[in-house]
């Protein structure tokens, strides 16, 4: 049934329209029964349904329904698997249909600027392309079930410290390329029903009141058609927010801001057409859900199995000196650490799921291996329990292999506050070190939502990064440890050796009033790789129980226009003896020198499954945006004419194949010619290049660059042709007066002639 939403809005009173723009309570939107507008519910969260009762709270102090906790975004991003994220989204959508939830609040795509952000476990990556691809896939999956999503937190919300008032100070290019980049592609391609604006200010203005962000960029530039809701309690000035494009305030304000809206319309401060538009957007999404209600069952057992599958695809094998997979026959396995029995598998805060059931590794391993267990440490405080430590060391010593389950306790990372360091609890670091002294064969399994320092990494034979991998985490861990599955995840973030290596280190989290993003576009691997800095584990890195060979890279053309698409193909062969999956990463390196850029940027990827000795050809595409950077002078994306290197890689530090292509730009950078415009700038513009070339040659001659470099010729040795050429390129037009005797009138005439020739 097609609803005439505009007609419905015309029938609403001013008070009813104002009321639609704020929640009835924490989780429900208001109804208008006389017009057939139903009450609908929204619910957290990104990796599981946290449906709460009416009187429940936002941060989860009260219980929600029993649900399935899927792996968190810090883990699922490591799958590099669009199909897997779409499947997870479909299951979340079915759960919402079964529980009558109209919009699920996620996914969260904020960039991992610093490993200290307390909410990093909910975010996908340090890379905007990867984050956007994972988000788009999850959104498509959820919304295929006629349930809405709310991509969040829009935008530049990269810390918890003073998140409700701090201003993210960020330049336009960095904002567009990094922090809006993760949102843009997901919104354009997957079309989420709602966008959740963030708490923070952006360059001094609250996101909830930012017309440029919520209207000019989101709607005018990107074509977003759904409604914008606030994060819970993010509204500062309601009427200003409504004018900016904030349609729905959550939660309800007890009617206070509704009255402000009514009064603003009555006194002429708010055009009622703005209010009408907001109500139409909200009603369109309400009816999209209620008019497409489906019979659905929340099958928790089946969803638990899917959670285990996703976890196994997402965990990353960081180190393996032949210890994995463990062959359990005739071996005594020591399971050490409280997380073996009671795993940490999700983060704290608004996304916390009341899990249906939890499978730890100790339980999952019962039917596979003969094992012993020692708790090793407590998690309530970072304090060494000598008895637990001694018991664990002795248990490990008596075993053939020790598997230590370690990581960050709940108190170390959560929504609401940031970490102050990158270390694990000292009691756990000590435990690992002491066990490594008495047991050669040690594997560490990590449970954490963000990178940790690993002072013991060189002392153990294996490291498996499990992240926060959902309620079936133990089942997936055991499957990987004992070879029932082959690890195939790769890191969606760089793991530095220490916190001070991070590019945001000197500026995170700011002074509480502002936080400066002075590292610019050099975030994550973009910084580490450009600076050639050693890291513990690079972006895109992950081991397998098999090996892969890359060969025969082909490109569809060696030269393309920026309006064309480049097709890239290469062959991947499984050269080992176990079925495995490889994540092939495609990076682009800008060799034009037109602007300061990272040495490489991820622009596509594909995950391919191969049987032993099987070879497949994989194909990927690169469009203009794959080569472009955001040019503030054009207020658009710009790919400079010149050469670009296409890199097929197993990680950002493991480049396997290379091809060079030339891109021809269809755009010209704006050029305003003045007496301080340089010769090189004029040579770059097609319109002025021909005219200035002859003049430039004369200038080189006047600088002495045409002299023969004869031995003993002091002048030629002092002023080489190379030096003259560089001086000429950097010389402003006004230098013509000094070096060529040009008069002021002649210079002015030249400037005007050049300006007329600019294209």
Active site residues: 231
The residue ranges of DSSP E strands in 27-120, in sequence order, are 42-44, 66-67, 103-105
What is the DSSP secondary-structure string of 432-473? HHHHHHH-S-EEEEEE-SS----TTGGG-SEEEE--S--TTH
Q: Going by C-beta distance under 8 Å and a sequence separation of 6 or more, which residues neighbour residue 61?
A: none
Q: From residue 720, how far is each of 132, 493, 677, 703, 704 by CA, in Å?
A: 50, 47, 24, 10, 8
Q: How many CB atoms lie within 10 A of CB 1?
A: 4
Residue 167 sits at the vertex; the CA angle it makes with 61 and 239, to the nearest 5 degrees, is: 75
Beta bridge partners of 167: 201, 514
Q: Which residue do the tokens 């248990």 mark?
A: 395
Q: From residue 329, how far is each of 333, 368, 443, 631 by CA, in Å?
A: 10, 9, 17, 61
Q: From residue 687, how far is each of 666, 676, 736 by CA, in Å?
A: 14, 18, 20
User: Of 205, 87, 93, which is closest to residue 149 (Cα–Cα)?
Assistant: 93
Do the beta carbons of residue 147 and residue 289 sit within 8 Å? yes
> H or E element: which one contains 10?
helix 5-11
Q: Token pair for residue 533?
A: 């800095």
Q: How many CB atoms lie within 10 A of CB 631?
A: 20
Question: Exposed, middle or buried, 413 (CB in 10 Å: 0-12/13-18/19+)?
Answer: buried
Q: What angle separates helix 386-397 from helix 426-438, to the nearest 10 degrees?
A: 30
Do the beta carbons of residue 194 and residue 142 sit within 8 Å? no
């Amino acid at each position: 049934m097609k609803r005439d939403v505009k007609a419905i809005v015309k029938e609403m009173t001013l008070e009813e329209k104002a009321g639609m723009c704020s929640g009835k309570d924490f989780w429900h939107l208001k109804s208008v029964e006389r017009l057939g507008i139903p009450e609908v519910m929204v619910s957290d969260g990104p990796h599981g349904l946290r449906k709460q009762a009416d009187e429940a709270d936002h941060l989860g102090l009260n219980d929600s329904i029993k649900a399935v906790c899927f792996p968190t975004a810090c883990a699922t991003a490591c799958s590099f698997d669009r199909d897997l994220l779409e499947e997870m989204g479909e299951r979340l959508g079915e759960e919402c249909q079964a529980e009558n939830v109209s919009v699920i609040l996620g996914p969260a795509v904020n960039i991992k600027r610093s490993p200290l952000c307390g909410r990093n476990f909910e975010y996908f990556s340090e890379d905007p392309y990867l984050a956007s691809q994972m988000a788009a896939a999850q959104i498509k999956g959820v919304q295929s079930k006629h349930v809405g999503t709310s991509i969040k937190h829009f935008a530049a919300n990269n810390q918890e410290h003073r998140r409700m008032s701090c201003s993210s100070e960020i330049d336009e290019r960095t904002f567009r390329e990094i922090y809006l980049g993760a949102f843009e592609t997901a919104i354009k391609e997957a079309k989420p029903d709602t966008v959740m604006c963030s708490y923070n200010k952006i360059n001094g203005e609250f996101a909830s009141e930012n017309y440029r962000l919520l209207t000019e960029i989101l709607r005018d530039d990107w074509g977003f058609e759904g409604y914008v809701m606030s994060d819970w309690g993010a509204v500062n000035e309601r009427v200003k927010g409504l004018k900016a494009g904030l349609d729905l305030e959550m939660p309800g304000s007890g009617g206070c801001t509704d009255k402000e809206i009514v009064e603003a319309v009555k006194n002429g401060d708010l055009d009622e057409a703005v209010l009408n538009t907001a109500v139409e957007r909200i009603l369109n999404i309400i009816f999209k859900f209620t008019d497409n209600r489906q019979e659905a069952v929340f099958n928790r057992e089946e969803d638990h199995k899917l959670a285990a599958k996703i976890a196994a695809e997402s965990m990353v094998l960081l180190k393996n000196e032949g210890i994995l997979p463990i062959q359990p026959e005739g071996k005594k396995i020591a399971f050490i650490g409280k997380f073996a029995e009671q795993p940490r598998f999700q983060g704290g805060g608004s996304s916390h799921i009341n899990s249906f059931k939890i499978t730890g590794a100790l339980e999952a391993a019962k039917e596979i291996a003969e094992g012993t267990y020692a708790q090793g440490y407590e998690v309530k405080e970072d304090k060494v329990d000598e008895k637990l430590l001694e018991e664990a060391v002795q248990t490990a010593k008596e075993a053939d292999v020790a598997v230590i389950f370690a990581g960050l306790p709940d108190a170390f990372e959560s929504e609401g506050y940031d970490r102050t360091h990158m270390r694990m609890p000292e009691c756990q670091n000590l435990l690992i070190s002491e066990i490594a002294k008495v047991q050669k064969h040690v594997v560490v399994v990590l449970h954490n939502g963000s990178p940790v320092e690993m002072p013991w990494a060189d002392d153990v034979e294996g490291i498996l990064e499990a992240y926060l991998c959902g309620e079936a985490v133990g089942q997936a861990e055991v499957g990987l440890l004992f070879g029932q599955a082959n690890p195939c995840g790769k890191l969606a973030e760089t793991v530095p050796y220490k916190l001070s290596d991070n590019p945001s280190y000197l500026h995170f989290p700011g002074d509480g009033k502002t936080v400066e993003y002075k590292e610019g576009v050099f975030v994550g691997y973009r910084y580490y790789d450009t600076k050639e800095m050693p890291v513990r584990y690079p972006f895109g890195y992950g081991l397998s129980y098999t090996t892969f060979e890359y060969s025969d890279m082909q490109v569809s053309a060696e030269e393309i226009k920026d309006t064309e698409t480049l097709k890239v193909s290469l062959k991947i062969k499984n050269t080992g003896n176990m079925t495995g999956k490889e994540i092939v990463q495609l990076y682009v390196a800008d060799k034009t020198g037109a602007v300061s850029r990272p040495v490489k940027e991820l622009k596509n990827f594909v995950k391919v499954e191969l049987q032993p000795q099987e070879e497949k050809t994989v194909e990927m595409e690169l469009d203009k945006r794959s080569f472009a950077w955001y040019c503030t002078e054009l207020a658009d994306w710009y790919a400079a004419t010149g050469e670009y290197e296409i890199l097929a890689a197993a990680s950002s530090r493991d480049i396997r194949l290379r091809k060079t292509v030339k891109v021809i730009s269809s755009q010209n950078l704006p050029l305003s010619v003045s007496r301080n415009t340089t010769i090189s700038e004029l040579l770059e513009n097609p319109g002025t290049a021909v005219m200035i070339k002859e003049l430039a040659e004369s200038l080189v001659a006047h600088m002495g660059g045409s002299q023969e470099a004869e031995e003993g010729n002091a002048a030629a040795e002092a002023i080489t042709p190379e030096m003259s050429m560089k001086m000429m390129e950097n010389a402003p037009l006004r230098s013509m007066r000094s070096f060529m005797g040009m008069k002021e009138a002649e210079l002015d005439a030249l400037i005007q002639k050049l300006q007329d020739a600019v294209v």
